[in-house]
Amino acid sequence: MERMEGERQATEQEQWLPLPVETTGQPSRRQAEVWALVLDSRSIPWRLEQTGAGRQLLVQRRHLESARAELRLYEEQNRNWPPPPPAMRSLVGNTLATLSVLILLATFHNLTLLEISLPGQGVVDLRDLGALHGAAVQEGQWWRLVTSLTLHADLPHLLGNLCIGGAIIVLLCRELGSGLAWSLLLGSGMLGNLINAWMQAPDHRSLGASTALFGAVGIFAAMGTVRYRHHPLRRWLVPLAAGLALLAMMGSEGERTDLGAHLFGFGAGLGLGLIAEPLVERQGRPGRLVNTLLALAAALLVILAWWAALTLS
């Protein structure tokens, strides 16, 4: 009799029972797989069987209560996770101000085509004074990191940057505010130019706003990556993949295309965007005063750079 009782108790212990958490009912396929991982982490044996009603997760009778407790705790701790996608950010009404800056850039291009004479220097070539020159930057002519962003080789170069890059810049300024957007654009352009100057041959020369424009693409890619960081990879990788695709399509074509400038500008924008977007999420966009100060600082930096180019070169 004792032997038979012992065999009966052993059989009951090894009996496999279905395991729903009380409030969830029959688990879906994905939920059952997740629950199985939870049980594995707690060294609780389990089985996953296919029944007429769907998949059924089973555990031994002796582990039933502990398994229920572990899954109940998991469900409570992970309720409402991942969080819902962030709401679309309202856009700032600053399109006219952004277009005014782009028109000013086009006007400055016309100025570089004129023969300008300075006291004691005679006729100066603004494109020669302001273009990015690897050896000159390495020797300390920092202003070329900025001035080269305001120059263009010819009218098609200018129109290409204004038509394609202008749309990106307008949207970035509406997303972040003019001051922050232009500061990030200038920063990514300068940083991209600095890396390009040190990575290329000393006699390397380049000019154009495209370094900053691809910085804007990098900033957008970083913003999307940060916003969707709590969601499946296919959600937050899309902006990054789109940025890389745009770089491949627009940044590597043309006989005079400076691929290094585009690539480093994109990378610099990506880095600055990864810093700026979390700050904007936590603290919001800069207020009117801070936004104005950032815009003035960016404009003053461009003016100072050209003053240095005209007086120190």
Catalytic residues: 210, 262
What is each CA distance from 23 to 19, 288, 301, in whole angstroms?
A: 11, 50, 62
Burial label, 238 (beta-carbon count in 10 A; 0-12, 13-18, 19+): middle
Rounded to 5, what percent of the chain is helix, strand, coil? 65, 10, 25
Q: What residues pair up with 123 in beta bridges, in sequence order?
A: 117
Q: To which H or E segment does residue 81 belong?
A: none
- Per-residue buried b or exposed e for 94-114, using 16+ beta carbons within 10 Å of the residue's own CB: beeebeebbeebeebbeebee
CA–CA dist 10, 202 (Å, integer): 81
Here the tokens at position 307 are 């003053």
Spatial CB neighbours of 185, under 8 Å, sequence gap ≥ 6: 169, 172, 212, 215, 216, 219
What is each CA distance from 162 to 95, 156, 204, in whole angstroms?
A: 14, 10, 24
Asked if residues 294 and 179 have their Cβ atoms less than 8 Å apart, the reply is: yes
